[in-house]
Structure 1
Amino acid sequence: MITNNLKIAWRNLGRRKGFSILNIAGLALGLASALLILLWVKHERSVDNFHAKGDRLYVAMNRGILNNELHCWPTTPKPLGPTLVANYPEVAQATRYARTGFLFTVNETQANAGGAFVDSTFLSMFDFPLVAGNPEMALSRANDIVITEALAMRLFGKTDVLGQQVRIDSTDYATVSGVLKNLPTNTRFKFDYLLPWTYMERIGWSDDLWGNNSVTTYVELTPQTQLAKANQNIQNVSIKNGDTKNEIFLHSFPDWWLHAEFENGHLAGGRIEMVQLFTAIAVFILLIACINFMNLSTARSEKRAKEVGVRKVVGARRHALIGQFLTESILLASLAGALSIAMVLVSLPAFGELVGTQLAIDFSSAPLWTGILGVILFTGILAGSYPAFFLSGFKPVKVLKGTFKGFNKAVNPRKALVVLQFTIAIILMVATFIIRQQIQHAQDRQNGYDKNNLIYVFLSGDIAKNFPLIKHALLNDNVATSITRSLSPVTSIWSNGMIDWDGKTPDNSQTFDRLHVDEGAVTTLGMELVRGRDLDLTKFPTDSNAALITESTQRAMGLDDPIGKTIRDHGQDWHIVGVVKDVIMGSPFEQIRPIVMYGASSWFSVMHIKFNPGLPTQAALDKTRQILKEYNPNEPFNYSFIDQEYAAKFRDTQQLGNIAGLFTFLTIFISCLGLFGLAAYMAENRTKEIGVRKVLGASVLSLVNLLNKEFLALVGIACLVAFPIAYWAMDSWLNKFTYHTDIYWWVFAAIGLGVLLIALLTVSSQAIKAALTNPTRSLRDE
């Protein structure tokens, strides 16, 4: 019986090739789209969930007042980790993590790599396995270094390198004490090497300042410790040990990737919202594809009513008819499922680039196959249920006499499904448009500095020692118009904390971001002075202890005239010489943070170079490379453009917009496939009616309008349903950003007209074809 049903089903598919291809392609595209999204969702949910001690690992967070609001952030003072281990028995161990970058040299081979300073406990807390070395001892000495297999291959051309030496920045040597297996893609850690914290102390980069929040601290609690109790005990550790009013609390490390946004001091979401949004999009796309499949299958099945009547007359039993229709529907769905897997395999590399991570299908995954087979069976059975249980149950005499009617009511399930799928498509279109508006709105925001023709170079090797000579050479050769040093690139903040100033009230617990800068900072970075002047050590030698502040800082300090006022930070006095317009060094979507810029007696890590705008960029880069090669011969010239660094701040939101745009297009395309099929079916159903109308003098335009108006009405209803939902959803999303665009009425008008036009073009192709058919053919009796 099953074999016979499959043969008949295959023949029916071959007889209606166009319908079969349309139905299979629509469902396959929906299945493939949903599978791609769910592969990404699975990856996101797996980030850092593979650590054996995951249920006891936490990231230490700061909680304090910023701009008169309670904020939380993950940077902490360097002494926090050792203090927690020494004084709080519920803390089993802790490690600090401070990102860094060095040039490594082995013989003639050089490689720039990014890594981190960590405590020796790092490898016992986190599961990053070593292919060589002892994780308990690998970071126990100051001159140890643990490198990944990838970095070992770059430096040595092999991975069996235990005990080998590497030169660090032409100034020091380290011994390879461990080789790490390359990090998996599903971890937030990104490093090529690990250096012990004792090495950081040896080179003078560490400090014991409780007011300097500049590193990440990870904590492992003992098995019996409750998180709430630990947070209660440690919350005042910074207050007790330093001149700060910030509280410390622990946040689950495995949850940190998806749940990292805080509002008014409490957890308020994070990347999980993006994951949930795209899970919903996957469900919606799959739902739309299934709706199309069911609509086309049930519509086409009505053409087979006479076949069912004849088969019943010659003795076919109802259960045989039910089996036949279900077999055909499941066969169609199975072919679509197989095609969808092929689509995923072909598109997976490109999709991985779009989402910024490497994805793969685990064909050994039971949940994957269960899900695919479940969707195929569910869709096939649901789509085949109408012909199987409805058509097989009517009396054959009705069909053979021509009195059988299908769905001809003004409101029927098929029309409701069309409205539902276009409602979902319209919501996605509105969401995509507003996401792109929000990105553009933030990109147009004044960031407080000039990104054009501005690069930065890390002060590695001999650059710091020879900085005056390098600066003179670049200016003298007209390669640059100005140069300055700073603690961090102008696009990043590496330190924040509390400060004192003249007139500060005792209850003020405001936290400020810090940026250490050299003379000429305002000119080089293109900041705009509001009052006062730039730092200038030639005219004002005391500017080594001078400071610049932003307008937000002036407001936070409550100073009407800050020029000449004194700031005290870490036991040092700084006098304010200038106020600049606010600078965006954090997220361009959030409230601007108050920033204090300290003068030349502070420490620096990078050099900003403002290129001469009259010189081609490549020529300026080539000349800069020559000069740095002269004064820093042992290292290659590595640089970053500030405009590219700033553009990277939009990467996650742009990724959201790109994915939403792609799947919105696919949703519209799948919906139009279904609309095209339904229009073809309705045009075929009304062939004789159209022929009669043409004989009676109806014009082609009136006939096209006759067929179009029903579908346009359905799309219009979908607009009315979708617009309020879309407005509510996007208004809620935008309110998560301090700095956001407004939602304008013309967005909905444009999208509504666009959807109606798309529907009109889709349906009209079939309507025009039917209207132009010769009535003698359509009225000819069978």
Structure 2
Amino acid sequence: MNNNIKLAFRNLKSNKGFTAINIIGLAIGMAASMLILLWVNHQFSINNNFPKSDQIYAVGTKEPTDNDIAVWFGTPKPLVPALKTDVPEVKSASRLNGTRGFLFQVGDKKLVAGIGAFVDPSFLSIFDFPLYSGNPANVLTAPNQIVLSEKLARDMFGSVDVVGKTVHIDSTEILSVSAVLKAGRADNGFQGYEYYLPWSLMEKQGQSDENWGNSSVYTYVELEKNANVDQINKQFTALPAKHSNTEAQFFLKPLSEVFLYNKYENGEVVGGRIEMVRIFIVIAVFILLIACINFMNLSTAQSEKRSKEVGIRKVVGAQKSSLVLQFLSESLLLATFSGILSLLLVFLCLPSFNELVGLKMQISFQEFGFWVLFLGFIILTGILAGIYPAFFLSSFNPIKVLKGRFRHIHYKLNPRKILVVTQFAIAILLIISTLVIRKQIQHAQDRDYGYKQENLIFLPEFGNISKNAVLIKQELIAEGIAQSVTRMMSPLTERWSGWNGFTWEGKDPNAIIQFNRQTADDKVVETAGFELVAGRDFDLGSYATDSTAAIINETAAKAMGFKDPIGQYFMDGSSKFQIIGVIKDFIQESPFEPVKPLLIEGASSNMNTMHIRFNPQLSSKEALDRTEKVLKKYNPDFPFDYKFIDEAYARKFEETERTGKLATLFAGLTIFISCLGLFGLAAFMAESRTKEIGIRKVLGASVFSVTRMLSKEFVGLVLVSCLIAFPIGYWAMDKFLSNYSYRIELHWGVFLIAGIGAVLITIFTVSFQSIKAAIANPVKSLRDE
């Protein structure tokens, strides 16, 4: 082994150019694969690292509709109390109802905290959150308690040693800190919560209810170890019918699967985020494989240089196994150098990669397991890259080699050509994927969203905004700051409520239609910039009854079957609404999905989001500054927390754009690694045909003809790669696009661009070496001494 390592060093040193190409190509390939695998590991780890992860389940709801079985993870508030008697096999359970907008006060310090949640006392013990202080069994048992995150405790008190200290909330509640949570892992799905409040406080404030038809909270249960989940699921399925007149059914899903397996069809899981994770696992394998192919090609290309060495070794007694070990030693040594360089690249690139994927991943240098995996990764890469060259080089016949009868035989099909074709087929596949994803994103961005985004902001009605909403609206309009103002249940770009229990005259009693529900007061059409198809806008000043009126979208009008919807009535539970307007469909949810039926109910319903359309004569800065002064006048303790509608809409594309950016990045790296290997291979071929080129030039060959001779083989291989990649790319991208209802059609132009791009890249890469060889002085190449 010592001898093999010495020889490996000498061989790598004697071929500096090829060694550099191999190390750089392998290092980039290994670094890219490591970054992808870090992201993959993070995705698999989300909500999978709690001490009792295998016992924790989320409760989901299924309910049939006319076209499908809808699935969501909201549950009614009275479910958890009912579990104690109806499903005694459940060890413990907790509800979680997200909240925000509380004004926290400690002494003279005031702070509006971020997202928090009302939970049952069992919540912390189910998830075993690590605490700085406090007993999980005793926290949140009384309505005057609160649990703080480490960040919020430091922001308010400057310390985490605050158990027993008090916090004023909205000047109405005085709560005692019963525990402080340690900062959790980045893959903890509850990482964003800054505080937890007891469910009993929510009941005290009158925010809880016993309505089994209102699925508005998350429910998590802890089962006993080795519990019969199938049997318990049957009991959950029967629960809704036991307590209400509904066709809904509950079911249990392992918490560790909720994030990745989130796509349902007809009530059953058919994929979700896991599909994207699998795609990037394949990409990681492809990139590493391409880097290894470079090593294989360059190693076998130099076979003539190593042939006499192999022949002499065999003559003096070397076995094939020892030669294989020697060549594998070289590849493992090169993989080690590449691995060290790749780790440095990952360390340097990780902050930028985190920003790209929107995460805060870290490398666990201090964990022994990481170094074991890293060493295994290097060994796997070394063996993968070196196994074929090792057997190829060790198989030479010593008699033929030492007699000088070793020749390169140019078969139409040989392993090296197959490897180049494979390499570029993968690269072309990634180019096609990148182009299709980009076109799909652009297709959705070009879609008519159905309202006017310019100069429109929204803000949550925290503090005293709701109480002073009329005065705020009047002052904004009177001062010429706003063109119009309306209050709604949720931002235009979000759906907070939906139901299939609406009724109207003539409705098929067997029909189950899921509607989105929104609320609004005056001038919603004017403020949002909707396009009226029929009827009018809400106008409480002229029509007091508009508080029980409604505006619907075109899809809702079709779903309800009204020839003329204006003047018709529908029932939302016990509340009756008259339709006064129909608006053109607008995108409230995903821009990649069809618009759902929407009912906008009048001011008699709950509203907690204010929308303001600024006066177009004002600059955005001036309008915001003046709006902030008005808000501070009526809501002095709270910050001016606003968002522009166009920015909120743009966030709908974040996940898809992130996928597109990742695909572009790794497609670029794949092409670069492929070109690096192609460059080295072209250099070697030009070097091995030096005398042939010299003779051709003496006989009158032009620089162009020599360049064409050296380049055409590689171009031919890339064209073969295109023929292989195109049908695979069509199948893969058609499957990818099937996830979107609003999608592009695959066009031959995408494949043409990918193919032409690959050919041009190949010509550009190979031409440098080809031209260099073609313009060399033939006298030098033909001279023997």
Calculate the TM-score normalised by the size of structure 2. Answer: 0.95
Q: 1:180 maps to which residue?
A: 181
Contact 1:24-1:332 within 8 A present in 2 as well: yes
Tell me, in whole angstroms, the C-alpha distance in 2 between the residues paired with 1:231 and 1:315. 69
Q: What are the residue-to-residue correspondences of 1:50-129 with 2, within 5 Å?
A: 50-66=49-65, 68-102=67-101, 103-106=103-106, 107-129=108-130
Return the alpha-carbon distance in structure 2 between the equivalents of residues 387 and 291 of structure 1. 10
Q: 1:368: Cα distance to partner?
A: 4.4
Judge conservation of contact 1:209–1:570 (CA < 8 Å) in 2.
Answer: no
In structure 2, do the counterparts of structure 1 residues 257 and 723 end up closer, same or farther at CA, with 3 Å as the change threshold? same
Asked if the contact 1:149/1:181 (under 8 Å) is kept, the reply is yes
The CA distance in 2 between the partners of 1:394 and 1:308, in whole Å, is 7
CA contact (8 A) 1:170 1:634 kept: no
In the alignment, what sits opposite 1:560? 563
The one-letter code matched in structure 1 to 2:105 is T
In angstroms, what is the RMSD of aligned CA positions? 2.2
Residue 586 of structure 1: SS of its match in structure 2? coil
Of 612, 627, 632, the match for 1:629: 632
CA distance in 2, matches of 1:67, 1:176: 49
Aligned to 1:718: 721
Q: Which residue of 2 aligns with 1:132?
A: 133
Q: Please state how far the C-alpha of 1:236 moved relative to its aligned partner.
A: 4.2
Whether the aligned pair in 2 keeps the contact of 1:482 and 1:610 (CA below 8 Å) is: yes
Alignment partners' CA distance in 2, 1:778 and 1:614: 77
The Cα offsets for residues 604-660 of structure 1, whole Å up to 9 and x where unpaired, read as 221111112221111111111111111111122111222222222222211211111
Aligned counterparts of 1:230 and 1:329: Cα–Cα separation in 2: 55
Q: Distance in 2 between matches of 1:389 and 1:243?
A: 72
Query: Structure 1: which amino acid aligns with 2:514?
Result: T
Q: Deviations over 1:694-727 (max 9, x none)?
A: 0000111011110111000100000000010011
SS in 2 for 1:414: helix
**For residue 125 of structure 2, what is the amino acid of its counterpart?**
S
Structure 2 match to 1:141: 142
- Check conservation: 2:46, 2:187, Cα contact below 8 A: yes
Q: Secondary structure at the match of 1:491?
A: coil
1:299 paired to 2:298? no
Structure 2 partner of 1:475: 477
Three-state SS of the structure 1 residue aligned to 2:744 is coil
Q: Give the conservation status (yes or no) of the 8 Å contact 1:64–1:509.
A: no
Q: 1:135 is aligned with what amino acid? A: P
- Whether the aligned pair in 2 keeps the contact of 1:700 and 1:772 (CA below 8 Å) is yes
> 1:771 aligned to 765, 771, 774, which one?
774
Aligned to 1:492: 494
Quote how far apart the aligned CAs of 1:240 are.
4.1
Report the alpha carbon displacement of residue 397 of structure 1 after superposing the two structures with TM. 5.3
How far apart in 2 are the matches of 1:317 and 1:222? 60
1:359 pairs with one of 343, 361, 367: 361
1:696-711 aligned at under 5 Å gives the runs 696-711=699-714
| Distance in structure 2 (CA, Å) of the matches to 1:198 and 1:620 | 42
Counterpart residue number, 1:542: 545
CA distance in structure 2 between the partners assigned to 1:566 and 1:386 by the alignment: 76
CA distance in 1, matches of 2:642, 2:67: 38
- Quick one: which amino acid aligns to residue 733 of structure 2? M
Q: Distance in 2 between matches of 1:771 and 1:686?
A: 11
Shift of 1:533: 1.2
Distance in 2 between residues matched to 1:268 and 1:395, nearest whole Å: 55
AA aligned to 1:164 is K
Match of 1:660 in 2: 663
Identity of aligned residues (%): 51
2:533 corresponds to: 530
**Distance in 2 separating the partners of 1:325 and 1:437:** 46
- What is the correspondence of 1:307-318 to structure 2 with a 5 Å cutoff? 307-309=309-311
User: Partner of 2:204 in structure 1?
Assistant: 202
> How far 1:376 moved relative to its partner?
3.5
In 2, the alpha carbon distance for the partners of 1:407 and 1:135 equals 75
Distance 1:83 1:516, change over 3 A: farther
**Partners of 1:326 and 1:230 in 2: CA distance:** 55
Contiguous gaps of at least 5 residues in structure 2: none
Q: Structure 1's 226 and 315: CA in aligned 2 closer, same or farther, altered over 3 A?
A: closer
CA distance in 2, matches of 1:172, 1:455: 31
Q: Which residue of 1 aligns with 2:424?
A: 422
Could you tell me whether the CA contact under 8 Å between 2:300 and 2:393 is conserved in 1?
A: no
> Counterpart of 2:528 in structure 1: which amino acid?
L
Deviations 1:390-445 (A, max 9, x none): 54554555445432124532211000000001111111111111111111112222
| Greater mean deviation of Cα atoms: 77-86 or 27-36 | 77-86
1:607 to 1:400, Cα distance in 2 relative to 1, 3 A:
same
Report deviation, 1:548: 1.5
Q: Where does 1:26-425 land on structure 2 (aligned, <5 Å)?
A: 26-66=25-65, 68-102=67-101, 103-106=103-106, 107-189=108-190, 190-223=192-225, 225-309=227-311, 322-363=324-365, 368-381=370-383, 383-384=385-386, 388-392=390-394, 394=396, 396=398, 398-406=400-408, 408-425=410-427
Question: How far apart, in 2, do the equivalents of 1:140 and 1:709 lie?
Answer: 78
The answer to whether the 8 A contact 2:112-2:638 is kept is no
What corresponds to 1:605 in structure 2?
608
C-alpha separation in 1, matches of 2:673 and 2:773: 23
| Separation of aligned partners in 1, 2:322 and 2:52 | 57
- Give TM-score scaled by structure 1 length: 0.95
